[in-house]
């Protein structure tokens, strides 16, 4: 029998490779745009006809190519971006496989015009189904123009697999969005069937988002910023009240490359847990930047999937960063929402839409300070201009479904009624939960988590105002600690004294306690400090959290009323009162749920 194995001719090999790289017009668009970015372009024009079937053209003002390079660029595995396997771990460019142009040229008619800035004349090359039809000098602007005509002209099977024009155009726009978001510092124009659809000046990220998704986004975004050794995070996330049913506006970029990553997506959505209704999704535009050697982008030819070496660490940092930006860890929102100046891309037109929200008065307490009956309780349920919302109320409150339902309750009943109703309809379940009625059903509060939240905010406020809540002990207590714990306490001594403790060092591993912050805790002083040290130590194992925050959380946790403690009616009332003047009543500082509402529907369901 004769030998039967043959090497495939290049044209066939290229066509096979093309199947992987160019599945549809959008894939060619992506490759061409990425090449222009890699070439250092600051202006890129994309021209589409018939959803990319008859024409995809990308014109850039990047570095251009020499005559030889222009010819070489169509060879398979021809790239200027890497030269040895090791380079794969240092990749900073979007392309590196050297396959895109070869693949595109295998299945289309390609017309390239390119000129380097230093050259007087440029080069024009025509390639059709991998065959170079002509090459000549030409005069053309510096940069590169590549026109891809009649995609899949020689692969009818592929052509027949294309979807309708609107669908293919949608895919092209998706790629265009991703690239324009990743590179707001590049100007982009898009012509679709000779109509100019988009024209973006070079700008910052927020204006670019607004240009793409509308001026309503001016109001919707909270900046994200976190630097650490493992990963740096930046970008914008949507305020919880803007979460939507579909996932359209969610973007991750790793080293400026758009990626899909369900694990990291989960980290973000998890940070919003409790803040957005179930099955709604917040918009996000998140940029991760990390050492290229810690990423493997090579696992998929179209490169929207990546592997991280340290995905778990990145997960926790990302979640914590999002939570921080949402203000979950703080009395006030952690960040000024207007860090990047708002921007209207169509001046005068399309004023930002004011979304309906709820504004509440944080000082108002219907339980202890009832208004004469008949007076309308000062909660408004309708959008008020931003300026009317008192400064100290974090925006996040407006989204809280729990609060909304409590507020609903308050709105509809007069304050007297409410005070009366709540006091009669309050009880403790298993010495753990406080149960009461609200208009929509039944509200259950975890007493320990609630008290942690209350103390956390009190301590934080006292610390910010430099008014520690100190209560001096009648009889000072001496503590003997293990050397390790003594080290920890020494380390935090100054800071916890700022929080209202009065503790002095007293010999090697001994301390003397003269005072503590106000506390209803049944624990002994030793017990409280043991817990603080323990919570602080375990907290340190968490992701890098701000130390001060960690400490306040540890103190709040150790001073809080514990599950298992029987509460008097008045104590329960106090907890409810104080909880709902907190800025984030629905979550304990360590992230546990504080309040749940079981709706009438859910209850009725159980009786079906």
Please report, as ranges, the residues that interact with ligand ADP according to CB under 6 A.
31, 35-36, 38-39, 60, 62-65, 73, 78-81, 95-102, 144
Look at strands 43-49 and 510-517 and give their pairing: unpaired
Look at residue 62 and give the partner it binds from ligand ADP, Mg ion, none, a contact being a CB closer than 5 to 8 Å depending on partner kind.
ligand ADP
The least distance separating ligand ADP from the CB of residue 78, rounded to whole angstroms, comes to 6
- Residue 129, number of CB atoms within 10 A of its CB: 17
Q: Is 591 in contact with 556 (CB distance < 8 Å)? A: no
Minimum gap (Å) between residue 34 Cβ and Mg ion: 5
The CB-of-82 to ligand ADP minimum distance in angstroms stands at 8
Using Cβ positions, the residue closest to ligand ADP within the complex turns out to be: 95
Beta bridge mates, 437: 442
Cβ proximity to ligand ADP, 34 vs 502, nearer residue: 34
**CA 508 to chain CA centroid, nearest Å:** 47
Smallest distance from the beta carbon of 67 to ligand ADP, in angstroms?
Answer: 13
**In sequence order, what are the residues at sequence separation of 6 or more whose Cβ sits closer than 8 angstroms to the Cβ of residue 541?**
none
Q: Which residues bind Mg ion (CB under 5 A)?
A: 35, 95, 100
CA-to-CA distance for 516 and 471, rounded, in angstroms? 5
73, interface contact from ligand ADP, Mg ion, none, CB < 5-8 Å by kind: ligand ADP
Closer to ligand ADP at the Cβ: 80 or 423?
Answer: 80
> Nearest distance from residue 20's CB to ligand ADP, in Å?
13
Task: Assign 3-class secondary structure to 293-318.
Answer: HHEECCCCCCCCCCEECCHHHHHHHH
98/401 with CB nearer Mg ion: 98
Closest CB to Mg ion among residues 64, 238 = 64
* Closest approach of ligand ADP to the CB of residue 133, in Å: 19
Burial of 151 (0-12, 13-18, 19+ CB in 10 A): buried
Residue among 311, 267, 305 at smallest CA distance from 286: 267
Choose the contact partner of 175 out of ligand ADP, Mg ion, none; CB within 5 to 8 A by kind. none
Q: Pick between residue 38 and residue 274 the one whose CB is nearest to ligand ADP.
A: 38
Smaller CB distance to ligand ADP: residue 61 or 448?
61
Binds 145: which of ligand ADP, Mg ion, none (CB < 5-8 Å by kind): none
Q: Tell me if residue 220 falls in helix, strand or coil.
A: coil
Which residues, at least 6 apart from 188, have a Cβ–Cβ distance to it below 8 Å? Answer: 43, 44, 45, 46, 176, 179, 180, 198, 199, 200
Q: Which does 36 bind (CB under 5 to 8 A by kind): Mg ion, ligand ADP, none?
A: ligand ADP
Task: With beta carbons less than 8 A apart as the criterion, state whether 485 and 533 touch.
Answer: yes
Name the DSSP class of 337.
T
Closest CA to 74 of 130, 33, 115: 130
As measured in angstroms, the least distance from the Cβ of 16 to ligand ADP is 16
Question: Which tokens is 153 given?
Answer: 């002209």
Our CB check for Mg ion shows the closer of 100 and 389 to be 100
Which does residue 578 touch among ligand ADP, Mg ion, none (CB within 5 to 8 A, set by kind)? Answer: none
- The tokens for 248 are 């359209």
Which of Mg ion, ligand ADP, none interacts with 192 (beta carbon under 5 to 8 A by kind)? none
> CB-wise, 97 or 208, nearer to ligand ADP?
97
Q: How far is the CB of 114 from ligand ADP (least distance, A)?
A: 7
């Amino acid at each position: 029998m004769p030998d039967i194995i043959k090497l495939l001719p290049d044209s066939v090999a290229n066509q096979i490779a093309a199947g992987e790289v160019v599945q549809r017009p959008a894939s060619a668009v992506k490759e061409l745009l990425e090449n222009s970015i890699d070439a250092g372009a600051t202006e890129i024009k994309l021209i589409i006809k018939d959803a990319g079937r008859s024409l995809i053209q990308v014109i850039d003002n990047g570095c251009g190519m020499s005559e030889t390079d222009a010819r070489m660029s169509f060879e398979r595995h021809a790239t200027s971006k890497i030269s040895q396997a090791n380079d794969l771990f240092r990749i900073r460019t979007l392309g590196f496989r050297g396959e895109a142009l070869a693949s595109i040229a295998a299945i289309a008619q390609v017309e390239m015009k390119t000129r380097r800035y230093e050259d007087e004349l440029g080069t024009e090359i025509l390639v059709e189904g991998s065959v170079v039809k002509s090459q000549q000098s030409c005069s053309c602007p510096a940069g590169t123009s590549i026109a891809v005509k009649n995609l899949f002209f020689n692969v009818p099977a592929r052509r027949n697999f294309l979807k309708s024009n609107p669908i293919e155009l949608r895919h092209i726009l998706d790629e265009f969005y991703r690239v324009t978001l990743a590179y707001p510092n590049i100007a982009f124009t898009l012509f679709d069937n000779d109509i100019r659809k988009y024209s973006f000046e070079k700008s910052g990220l927020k204006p670019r988002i607004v240009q793409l998704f509308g001026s309503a986004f001016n109001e919707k975004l909270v900046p994200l910023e976190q630097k650490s050794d493992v990963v740096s995070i930046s970008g914008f996330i949507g305020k919880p009240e803007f979460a939507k049913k579909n996932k359209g506006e969610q973007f991750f970029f790793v080293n400026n490359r758009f990626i899909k990553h369900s694990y990291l997506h989960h980290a973000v959505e998890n940070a919003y847990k409790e803040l957005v209704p179930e099955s709604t999704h917040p918009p996000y535009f998140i940029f991760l930047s990390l050492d290229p050697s810690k990423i493997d982008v090579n696992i998929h030819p179209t490169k929207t999937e990546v592997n991280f070496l340290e995905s778990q660490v990145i997960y926790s940092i990302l979640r914590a960063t999002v939570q921080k930006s949402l203000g979950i860890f703080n009395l006030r929102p952690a960040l000024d929402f207007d860090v990047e100046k708002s921007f209207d891309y169509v001046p005068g037109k399309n004023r930002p839409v004011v979304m309906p929200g709820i504004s509440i008065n944080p000082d108002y307490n219907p339980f202890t300070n009832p208004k004469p009956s008949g007076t309308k309780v000062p909660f408004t349920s309708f959008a008020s201009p931003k300026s009317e919302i008192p400064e100290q109320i974090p925006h996040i409150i407006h989204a809280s479904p729990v609060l909304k339902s409590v507020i609903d309750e308050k709105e509809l009943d007069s304050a007297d009624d409410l005070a009366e109703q709540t006091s009669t309809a309050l009880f403790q379940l298993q010495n753990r939960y406080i149960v009461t009625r609200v208009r929509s059903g039944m509200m259950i509060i975890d007493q320990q988590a609630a008290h942690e939240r209350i103390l956390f905010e009190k301590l934080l406020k006292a610390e910010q105002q430099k008014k520690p809540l100190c209560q001096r002990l009648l009889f000072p207590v001496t503590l003997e600690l293990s050397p390790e714990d003594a080290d920890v306490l020494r380390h935090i001594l100054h800071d916890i004294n700022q929080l209202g403790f009065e503790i002095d060092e007293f010999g090697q591993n001994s301390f003397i306690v003269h005072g503590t912050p106000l506390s209803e805790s049944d624990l002994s002083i030793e017990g409280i400090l043991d817990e603080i040290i323990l919570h602080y130590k375990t907290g340190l194992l968490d992701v890098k959290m701000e130390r001060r925050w960690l400490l306040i959380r540890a103190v709040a946790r150790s001073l809080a009323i514990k599950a298992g403690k029987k509460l008097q009616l008045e104590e329960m009332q106090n907890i409810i009162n104080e909880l709902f003047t907190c800025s984030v009543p629905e979550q304990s500082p360590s992230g546990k749920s504080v309040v749940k509402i079981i709706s009438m529907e859910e209850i009725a369901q159980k009786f079906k």
